[in-house]
């Protein structure tokens, strides 16, 4: 199993249970996605480089540290949108870039339909967010897109991951830092994480098909 950081924070475990519950309504689901993202992101950003500064205070001057690099948050559309807000709560000055991918249900391969990366990159670190790291196809493709435009430092943040998805991402881009709230058993025959939480996009945006 490739290296992946699985959070052991009790609040993370608590919120994951709320997301898994099929009775959780879209408004509550979105709120918990945002909270859970913020919690996992605190751990995922612990290794970001800083530079020393001196800042004035009401009583003098203090030594401190600020982020050394500009950060880009890259939500994979559409499900990653809810996670972007949780990261912006932590890093409000971050740039937000969007990559749109959908999974071909026949081949399980990612298909790109939208790419809104700036022509002139202002960030040197990208945090890619997607609630589910299932087969790993969308994660790998997004990270490949970012590497192709010159982003060397990548962090991938998911809420639920499968061992297969983690392995696929690590094999394709070995130096990506992967942080997840929970690592599940595996994938079913159609490539969904089990036990998982269902379709994260549908559950966030209220588009779960009627039974």
> Is 131 a member of any domain?
yes
Residue among 20, 31, 103, 147 flagged as catalytic: 103
DSSP state of 210: P
CATH of the domain at 107: 3.40.50.2020
d(CA 163, CA 155): 17
> Is 26 a member of any domain?
yes
- With bands split at pLDDT 50, 70 and 90, how would you rate the model's confidence at 121? confident
Distance of CA 138 to the CA centre of its chain: 12
For residue 4, give every residue at least 6 positions away whose Cβ sits within 8 Å of its Cβ, in sequence order, or none: 161, 166, 170, 178, 179, 180, 183
For 50-69, what is the mean pLDDT?
A: 95
Percent over 70 (pLDDT), the chain: 97
Q: Is the pLDDT of residue 32 over 70?
A: yes
Domain span at 74: 5-49+69-205
Residue 31 is a catalytic residue: no
Residue 103 is a catalytic residue: yes
Residue among 38, 70, 147, 202 flagged as catalytic: 202
Residue among 107, 141, 153, 175 flagged as catalytic: 107
Q: Is the pLDDT of residue 2 over 60?
A: no
Q: Could you tell me the pTM of the whole model?
A: 0.89
d(CA 27, CA 204): 7
Residue 107 is a catalytic residue: yes
Q: Can you give the pLDDT at residue 190? A: 85
Residue 85 is a catalytic residue: no
Domain count, the chain: 1
> Is 61 a member of any domain?
no
> Is 14 a member of any domain?
yes
Residues recorded for the chain: 211
Q: Per-residue pLDDT tens for 165-201?
A: 999 999 999 999 999 999 999 999 888 999 999 888 8
């Amino acid at each position: 199993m490739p290296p992946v950081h699985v959070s052991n924070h009790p609040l993370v475990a608590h919120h994951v249970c709320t997301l898994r519950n099929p009775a959780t309504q879209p408004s509550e689901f979105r709120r918990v996605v945002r909270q859970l993202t913020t919690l996992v992101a605190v751990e995922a950003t612990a290794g970001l480089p800083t530079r020393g500064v001196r800042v004035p205070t009401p009583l003098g001057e203090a030594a401190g540290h600020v982020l050394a690099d500009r950060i880009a948050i890259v939500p994979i559309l559409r499900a990653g949108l809810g996670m972007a807000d949780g990261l912006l709560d932590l890093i409000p000055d971050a740039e937000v870039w969007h990559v749109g991918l959908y999974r071909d249900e026949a081949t399980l391969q990612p298909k790109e339909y939208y790419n809104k990366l700036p022509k002139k990159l202002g960030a040197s670190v990208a945090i890619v967010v997607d609630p589910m790291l299932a087969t790993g196809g969308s994660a790998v493709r997004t990270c490949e897109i970012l590497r192709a435009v010159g982003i060397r430092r990548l962090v991938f943040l998911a809420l639920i991951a499968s061992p297969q998805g983690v392995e696929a991402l690590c094999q394709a881009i070995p130096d990506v830092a992967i942080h997840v709230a929970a690592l599940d058993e595996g994938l079913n025959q159609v490539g969904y994480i089990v036990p998982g939480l269902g379709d994260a996009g549908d559950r966030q945006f209220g588009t779960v098909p009627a039974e």
